[in-house]
Structure formats: C-alpha cells, structure tokens
Amino acid sequence: MEFTAQQIAELLNGKVEGDKNAIVNTFSKIEEGKAGSLCFLANPKYTNYIYETEASVVLVNNDFEAQKPIKASLIRVEDAYKSIAILLDIYNQMTDKPKGIEKQSFIHKSAVIGKNIYVGAFAYIAKDVKIGNNVLIYPGVYIGNNVTIGDNCVFHPGVKIYHNTKIGNNCIIHSGSVIGADGFGFAPNNGEEFVKIAQIGNVIIEDNVELGALVTVDRATMGSTIIRKGVKLDNQNHIAHNVEIGENTVIAAQSGLAGTSKIGKNCMFGGQVGIGPHITIANGTKLSAQSGVPNNVLKEDSILMGAPAFDIRAYHRAYVHFKNLDDIVKRLENLEKKLKEK
C-alpha cells in the first residue's frame, strides 16, 4: 500500500517539511534508503546519513536541526523511535494472518477455544485448556493440561507450554521457548545421588508480555513463578522457579535469574546479567551487561555494573586504576628497590 507524507504525519501528529505528497510504500534503514521508502533518525550517530539517503521520507525528532540540505521530506515528531514503532505495528497488522484450524493439529474435546483463532499443523492442545479470541498458534506448539490463555496472543512455532500455566492478553512468545518446565530443585542426600524435589507450582504471565526465542520460565516449586504485565524478555533468557519480575521490566539476551529472586518494576538489565538466588532488586534498577548481583539491591533507580555489581560511577573510577594496575605494580617495585639500596 502507498501513503503520502501528509497521511503519515496525520497518523503520528507530526508536521511535514518538504513535499507533503511524497509517496512511500516500504520501510528502510536510513543508511540504505531508496526512493519510495520511509526511514527514521533517532540516534545522533546516524545523522550524516540523512544528508545522503535516497529515502523519500524521514522521521526526525522535533529538535533536529539540519546542517546541510536534505533531499527527503521530513516529518517532525516528538519521538522518532516511538513513531517508527507505531508505523511498523500498523504495517504488521495490515499483513495477512493465518486463519482456521489445520487438519494435522490436535485439540482435546474438553478444550474451550475462542473466536477467530488459528491452530497450525502438529500443534497439540491438551484437555481443559481455555483459549481466548484472536489467538495465533503456529505449527508445532504444545499446550498442556489446564492452561489458560487470554485474547490476542501469538505463539510462534515450537513453543511449549506446560500444564497449569496462566497467560494473559496480548502476549507474544517466540519460537523454542519453554514455559513451565520443572524448577531446578534437588535435595542433597548424604553424599549419595541428589533427590528430586517435586515442582508442583505453576507459571503466571500477565498481559502485554513478550518473550523472545528460546526463553525458559520454570514452574514454581510451590506457588507461582510470575511475569508481571508489560515485561519484555530478549532471546535465551532463563527465569528460574518462584522468580517474580515486576511490571515493565526489560531484560536483554542470555541473562539468568536464579530461584526465588524478586525483580522490581521498570528495571532494565543488559545482556548476560546474572542474579543470585533469593535476591531482591529494587524498582527502576539498571544493570550493565555482564553484571553479577549476589546481594540485594534496595535503593530504587540504582545503576550498577561489574561482578559483583556496584555503583557504576564507582566502577568507572575503579576501572581506571585497574587498567593502570601493571604500571602501578612496576612503580611500587621500583620504589622497593630504591628503599633496599639505601
């Protein structure tokens, strides 16, 4: 489909500078922009491309100031990054979605299925499952006994959802993720083999949660492992038994949260962060990539770095000395030699 710059500006409450009738029919990165495409500039590192791009329309922030002539029409908006997300979502909703129940799938007779759902080939829906409206279940998905799923959810190929899991509305789970596998519970047995502790809890995922590919969320030993509304987890995250993640927290790839840790709301974790067992993390905490947290973080809006993690400003100061450690040691050795010569 084609849209003019003016039509797009009206969708975004933006203002056009240049040709209001410039037509776009696709998206592009600003460094790869071609005629007929729309791109955006949000990161200042890419500013030089706006003077070279062949894109027909570019979204920019209201405070952008051009230093050279620009061929493209500009649409000024409050937040270019947020605006491109809105447009991409509109575009995604316009694409054709699969419909109906494919023959090779299995749905237990006791399952309750909502309206306008899709169930792909080789999907398996077990007994007493309840599924809401407008749900997409792609091929190879397994949904175990007594699972409850809300409206407008998407389960990509190969997702496995164990029994008794509860999932809210508008959730997206990407390929290969496993929800509700046993927590890692084993009791020592006087030097003999470890004794498995039965994991009889479940997983609760609230509304508007998105889990990337190959995410694992373990069921609770007792009670529930809880992912609160608005949480976004990147690929290959591991959430252990009885963890609770607060609202609107985002966690980048390959992070691990050990059992019974409690993560506050509005937190941001970089990639490969590790949280120890029974740890409490305060609201608004930010953890730099590869941080390790063995103790509670009780101060809200803390920014931490390192393993073990501590205040990022103190870490940066300490790291200056670490980089100079070899030189410092040599200076100390020289001083010791001079003292011995006296």
Q: Which residues contact 233 (CB under 8 A, 6 or more apart)?
A: 209, 210, 211, 212, 215, 227, 239, 250, 251
Across the chain, mean pLDDT equals 95
pLDDT of residue 58: 96
Q: What is the per-residue pLDDT for 35?
A: 94
pLDDT band at 228 (very low <50, low <70, confident <90, very high): very high
Neighbouring CB atoms inside 10 A of 329's CB total: 10
pLDDT at 89: 87
The answer on pLDDT for 65 being more than 80 is yes
Domain with residue 107: its CATH number is 2.160.10.10
Report how many domains make up the chain. 3
- Reply yes or no on whether the pLDDT at 2 is more than 80: yes
- Both tokens of 308, joined, read 């073990």
Considering the domain architecture, whether residues 322 and 300 belong to the same structural domain is answered as no
Q: Which amino acid is at 215?
A: V
Residue identified by tokens 């729309």 is 38
- Domain shared by 204 and 327, yes or no: no
For the stretch 105-110, contacts whose Cβ atoms lie closer than 8 Å and that sit 24 or more positions apart, written own/partner, are none
22-36, 282-296, 327-341: which has the minimum mean pLDDT? Answer: 327-341
Same domain as 170, residue 61: no
Residue 161 burial (10 A CB sphere; 0-12, 13-18, 19+): buried
**The predicted structure's pLDDT at residue 322:** 84
Average pLDDT over residues 138-159: 98
Predicted confidence (pLDDT) per residue in 6-34, tens digit: 999 999 999 999 999 999 999 999 999 99
Q: Among 82-96, 151-165, 218-232, whose mean pLDDT is lowest? A: 82-96
Q: Do 53 and 197 fall into the same domain? A: no
Each residue's pLDDT tens digit, 304-315? 999 999 999 999
- Spatial neighbors of 273 by CB under 8 A, at least 6 apart, are 251, 252, 255, 256, 287, 289, 290, 291, 292, 293
Residue 112 has pLDDT above 80, yes or no: yes
User: What three-state secondary structure class fits 15?
Assistant: strand
Count CB neighbours of 63 within 10 A: 7
**Same-domain status, 116 and 243:** yes
Give tens-digit pLDDT for 152-173: 999 999 999 999 999 999 999 9
| Cα(283)–Cα(301) distance, integer angstroms | 6
User: For the domain that residue 60 is a member of, what is the CATH number?
Assistant: 3.40.1390.10
**CA dist., res. 184 & res. 197, Å (int):** 8
Residue 274 tokens, joined: 């590790």
Phi, psi of 87 (to 5 degrees): -65, -40
**161 lies in the same domain as 248:** yes
229-264 per-position pLDDT tens digit: 999 999 999 999 999 999 999 999 999 999 999 999
- Residue 135 has which token pair? 């749900």
Q: Name the more confident of 316 and 179.
A: 179
Question: In the structure, what pLDDT confidence band is assigned to residue 190 with cuts at 50, 70 and 90?
Answer: confident
Whether residue 78 is predicted with pLDDT greater than 90 in this model: the reply is yes
pLDDT of residue 1: 73
The pair of three-digit structure tokens given for residue 326, joined into one six-digit string: 């070899």
What pLDDT does 92 receive?
82
The pLDDT of residue 30 is 94
- pLDDT value for 87: 93
90 and 177 together in one domain: no
Domain endpoint, select from 62, 94, 126 = 94
- Look at the chain and count its residues: 342
157 shares its domain with 186: yes
Residue type, 213: A
- Contact between 68 and 51 under an 8 Å Cβ cutoff? The reply is yes
> E-strand spans in 29-125?
37-41, 57-61, 73-77, 100-101, 106-107, 112-113, 118-119, 124-125
Cα separation, 242 vs 259, whole angstroms? 6
Tokens representing residue 132 in the block: 């809401």
pLDDT category at 62 given cuts 50, 70, 90 is very high
Same domain, 7 and 71: yes
Q: Are residues 111 and 252 in the same domain?
A: yes
- The residues that are catalytic are 241
Give the start-end residues of each E strand in 3-84.
3-4, 15-17, 23-24, 26-27, 37-41, 57-61, 73-77
Range among 88-102, 185-199, 288-302 with highest mean pLDDT value: 288-302
Domain limits at 145? 100-312
The single-letter code of the amino acid at 55 is A
Q: Do 164 and 295 belong together in one domain?
A: yes
108, 236: one domain? yes
- Say yes or no to pLDDT of 91 above 90: no
What is the spatial distance between Cα 83 and Cα 13, in angstroms, rounded to a whole number? 10
